[in-house]
Amino acid sequence: MHMTQSDMLALLRRDPERGLEAVVRAFGALALKTVRLTGGDALSPADAEEIVSDVFFRVYTARDGIDESKGTLATFVITLAKRMTVDRLRARAHRQGVELPIDEAVLPAAADVEETVAGREERQKLVDAIVSLGHPDSTIVFRRYYYGESYKAIGKRLGLSENAVNKRCLKALGRLRQLLGKGE
């Protein structure tokens, strides 16, 4: 059965256990990837798994306050994963008494900051556009291009043929070009 993100959120509110199961199934790998990318080598695999568990606990406890007008459920999960990872790293640095020097020698140049911010904004637009494709297309694109999975592996996970995944992926990429204004 195909569930939209709105359907998952409604299920999460109506039947929290089943809803959480659906949310974890849909976004667990995405949350873990976000934590690993944000934390880098500073996190052990056990730390990353613990943060992901905390993310979904927060989704569970905040289910009634999640406002879809401010973003999708996937965006909520990604944002939580990033914030909770940064918080964990900051807390660890604080416990270890690590002070990060802030002076001109370690601050990036203004142009570098501008490029970094612009790059982050572009990546966020891309992620939002991919999420807007809906299931299963967004899952196919994420798994293919973010996780490097083969069409066959994606098809097996989603219960689709390899050929169907390939075709859906090509159509989804075309829609992404249109959404991002690059298909003109």
Q: For the domain 1-101, what is the CATH code?
A: 1.10.1740.10
The whole model's pTM is what?
Answer: 0.54
Query: What are the extents of the domains in the chain?
Result: 1-101, 108-184
| 108-184: CATH topology | Arc Repressor Mutant, subunit A (1.10.10)
- pLDDT tens digit string along 9-21? 999 999 999 999 9
- pLDDT tens digit string along 62-107? 999 998 888 888 889 998 998 898 888 877 776 766 544 433 333 3
**Residue 134 and residue 4 in contact, taking contact as beta carbons nearer than 8 Å:** yes
**Residue 28 and residue 54 in contact, taking contact as beta carbons nearer than 8 Å:** no
Instruction: For residues 125 and 92, give the distance between their C-alpha atoms in angstroms, rounded to a whole number.
Output: 31
**Residue 172 and residue 154 in contact, taking contact as beta carbons nearer than 8 Å:** no
